[in-house]
Amino acid sequence: MRGLALSFAAALAAAACSTTKPQEQSDWERRNPQSAATTEEVVDPPAYPAMKNLLEFSVLSADGFRFYIDRASLSVSKEGLVRYVLVARSPVGVDNVSYEGLRCASAEQRLYAVARPDHSWSAARSTWRPVSTARHVTLAQDYFCPQKEPIRDAYEGILALQGGGHPFAKGFAGEAVNRGR
């Protein structure tokens, strides 16, 4: 009888330890419940970029690298995320190709996938990070997120790349983008 009582007590203790209590939240999570729960849509990488679709943009202190955006991959989601394929060509001609995104309002960037030598994609385990590298700062400030607002569509981004920068990134004195097409 005593063994049965000990077994019962052990079972109760195990059950008490296994109960799940609500996960504690930070002050920010309590103040912004919908923001913490919001998840980004799953996106598949586009086709590997064709040379004819690459638009070059200038980056200061690029250490000899040349940077390109694949015009065919440029998109803006309904949430205002700007996604694109970036090609970084080394001084010896080796291409590093990645599928990336910019979140303009919070000045963050994310790596979605990296291209393999056979032109297939390898998914990246990346989260949103502050924009910090010269190429991402340039893309955000001068082309895709003028005044921290996302471009409205791919066409606006292509015009900015072809024009050497978005007119609104140059201030309000610059010419406006032809939105009438």
Alpha carbon of 21 to those of 17, 63, 89: distances in Å? 10, 52, 51
Which residue shows structure tokens 């504690």? 24
> What ranges in 99-164 are assigned the alpha helix state H?
134-138, 154-162
Please check whether residue 156 lies inside any domain of the structure: yes
Q: What is the pLDDT of residue 39?
A: 58
As given in the structure block, the two tokens for residue 175 are 């010419």
Please give the mean pLDDT across all residues of the chain. Answer: 82
Number of domains the chain contains = 1
* pLDDT tens, residue by residue, 103-113: 999 999 999 99
Please check whether residue 22 lies inside any domain of the structure: no
Q: What is the pLDDT of residue 14?
A: 46
Which domain does 157 fall in, by range?
Answer: 51-170
Which pLDDT band holds residue 135 (cuts at 50, 70, 90)? very high
pTM: 0.73
Between residues 21 and 140, which one has the greater pLDDT?
140
